[in-house]
Amino acid sequence: MPRSPDFLGATGIGVSDLRASAEFYKTALGMTEQRTVKIDYMDEIILVHEARSALVLMHWTDGSERNYKDVPVKLVFYVTDPVATAEKIKAAGGVMTREPAPIESMGGAVVGLGKDLDGYVVELLQAPEPKERTNASDAARAPA
């Protein structure tokens, strides 16, 4: 199936402490800060994994009342080591509600569930092994 020309570029979540949440996602999940945005009613920090979708952390600054805690939202991350990432989540101030373990009904996929500083669910899935890329230039350089 060909790739769609349309795609999701980012997901935004409201957070109670912009800087603390950015540090959580950088420390626990290895994201990097791409940029900050200040608009008249909101501040944002945009975090990314290289060449992947972005996570936009948003904090309203217009004085409006916002509920940032325990909002029913789940962020799903494919990670190379769910157990180590779960430990990083706990060390960064989050909690694990389900330690990473295989789930038979999901074909044995390793799944863990945690919560970030505001209670958003952070799901950890074992990332699939990367597929080897081959191209003509790699073949030309390979020893015979």
pTM of the entire structure? 0.86
pLDDT values of the chain reduced to their tens digit, one per residue, 144 residues? 888 999 899 999 999 999 999 999 999 999 999 999 999 999 999 999 998 999 999 999 999 999 999 999 999 999 999 999 999 999 999 999 999 999 999 999 999 999 999 999 999 999 988 777 555 545 554 444
Residues contacting 63, CB < 8 A, separation 6+? none
Domains detected in the chain: 10-129 (3.10.180.10)
Q: What is the dihedral of CA 86, 76, 78, 137, to 10 degrees?
A: -150
Of the CA atoms within 13 Å of residue 32, those in its CB half-sphere come to 5
pLDDT at 135: 58
Per-residue pLDDT at 144: 47
- Residue 130 pLDDT: 76
